[in-house]
Amino acid sequence: MSFYNKKTSLKSKKEIELLFKSGTSCSAGFLRSVYLPGGSSLKIGVSVPKKLIPLAVKRNLIKRRIKEQIRALPDTVFEKKKGSLFILFQGKKEASSKEISGCINDLFLKTFH
């Protein structure tokens, strides 16, 4: 069973603002995460800035690739994790699934150490 779905996606504007105000940040490669522990279950949000990737088609492709790599992670990574997590893409160009996979693994190791 994959972890990242509609129920676990971070959509609330209030939660996102609180996350960026008081969350802890770490980065791996061209990805950066902001994590705030607490809450009932883990919710994840993904963002690719328009300033870095101007074409919407490419932005959406990168978001889909990031979400797919999160789904590919084993469920044990998310076991007993609660709070909010936001992943930001900070690369200047489109990234392949292989590159994203490596960065996601490093990022989750740093975030949930």
- The pLDDT assigned to 85 comes to 94
Q: Cα–Cα distance between 80 and 41 in angstroms, integer? A: 8
The domains located in the chain, with CATH, are: 13-111 (3.30.230.10)
Q: How confident is the model at residue 59 (pLDDT cuts 50, 70, 90)?
A: very high
Residue 5: what are its φ and ψ, rounded to 5°?
-145, -170
- The pLDDT assigned to 40 comes to 81
- Which comes out higher in pLDDT, residue 34 or 80? 34
Contact assessment for residue 35 and residue 46, using Cβ atoms and an 8 Å cutoff: no
- The pLDDT assigned to 93 comes to 92
Q: Which amino acid is at 74?
A: P
- Which comes out higher in pLDDT, residue 69 or 3? 69
Please give the order of strands across the beta sheet that includes 83-89. Answer: 24-28, 31-37, 83-89, 42-47
The predicted-structure confidence for 30-50, as pLDDT tens digits, reads as follows 999 999 998 888 999 999 999
- pTM, rounded to two decimals: 0.91
pLDDT surpasses 80 at 17: yes
